[in-house]
Amino acid sequence: MLELAMVIGFAMAFAIGANDVANSMATAVGAKAITPRQAVLISGILEFSGAALFGAQVTKTIAKGIVNLNMVGSAHEILAGAMAALIASTVWIIFATIWGMPVSTTHSIVGGMIGFGIAAAGFEAVNWLKMGIIALTWVISPLVGGLLSFITFKVITWTILHRKDPAKASRLWAPLLIGVAFFIIGLLLSLKTFKFEVSEAFLVGVVVGVIAFLMTFLYVRRIVADDAYGTVEKVFRRAQVLTSCYVSFSHGANDVANAVGPVVLMYIILKTGQMGGAIEIPKWLLAFGGFGIALGVGLLGYKVMKTVGEGITELNNTRGFSIDFATATTVFVASFTGMPVSTTHTVVGAVTGVGLARGIEVVNIGILKNIVISWLVTVPFAAVVSAVVFEFLK
């Protein structure tokens, strides 16, 4: 049974990689900073690394925070329910990927767990308070991502793009903006990865930010472009590749929970016979989920990438930098606090925010409407399919 669970969990991880690759690399590809082939290779490596090294905290929330396992009749039913949640989520995500819809994998697995919980023990088995908090983050994450990207792009516009000599303005402001971005990246990575104290993490962030400032300062004086705006885009192209890498890494840390969370639950029950207590996450299971994500990126990651990178609004390197910075910051803070936000919601909100910073007329409202509809379908679809599959497996 564990082997079967791992096969289904691997399929779920594959589906996550295929659908959510757009969240990390679509903006870089859409802005022509890297090629699709490079995006697949880079994101595959970083998604695996983030999942294997730093995915444990969120996995605990998914595995044991949604359904009150003590209210479910038996360990056998819990095993059947976790498997049903995985199957339902995988079916929906692969279907959405084939049609190019960027749906939330977090929505999918949580919906699957809810469907199993209700079918097994009624509505009272679901931790609705926890569910309410998670649902609130689904609303907050696109708003925060959109606001951060809007502000970031507006700052770039005011300080560089709308100056009389954008190339000259970029020599001062580009190093400052990129330095601030990498200060925040260094701060968050130190807190999450190395478990530093806040003061130590702040110091690391300062060092990383200063290094990024100096490297950008030296680079911007050497580049030669055909026009002033070309100079600015060249400056931010390098930074956007790095911020896309950061998004990919943080996404792996956050979304591996969706694939391996139910697998971990089944693993613990089968090995110990216990349903309660703390769930320790085996590192090899995180690596297993990370590999599935990387494989999905490589084999089926192009469809959704096109929708997010090209369909919502036209992107260039300054806009892509703003989106990546906003998305990465929102998602990695969520991973650090153990709250499973939707990376899809965050990045779509950030792309929309950048578009709105230029005017609503440059945002494809039709594409956004279709995306929102797919979001609304995700939870009830996963819940219903999970409930049906659970009854069959039980």
Identify the CA nearest to 50 among candidates 200, 166, 238, 192.
192
pLDDT reported for residue 335: 64
Give Cα 300 distance to the centre of its chain. Answer: 17
pLDDT reported for residue 276: 54
In degrees, to the nearest 5, what angle opens at C-alpha 288 toward C-alphas 26 and 1? Answer: 125
pLDDT reported for residue 365: 92
pLDDT reported for residue 380: 92
Give the amino acid at 190: S
- How far is 79 from 176, CA to CA, in rounded Å? 52
pLDDT reported for residue 280: 65
pLDDT reported for residue 60: 60
Q: What's this model's pTM, rounded to 2 decimal places?
A: 0.82
pLDDT in tens, the chain (394 residues): 778 878 888 898 899 888 876 677 888 888 888 888 888 888 888 878 887 777 766 556 555 678 887 787 777 888 888 889 889 999 999 999 988 888 888 788 889 989 999 999 899 988 888 888 878 877 888 898 899 999 999 999 999 988 888 888 888 899 999 998 889 888 877 876 677 888 998 999 999 999 999 999 998 888 766 677 887 888 888 888 888 887 788 777 766 666 677 777 777 777 776 655 556 667 787 788 888 888 888 888 888 888 888 888 889 999 999 998 888 778 767 766 766 677 788 889 999 999 999 888 889 999 999 888 988 899 899 999 999 999 999 8
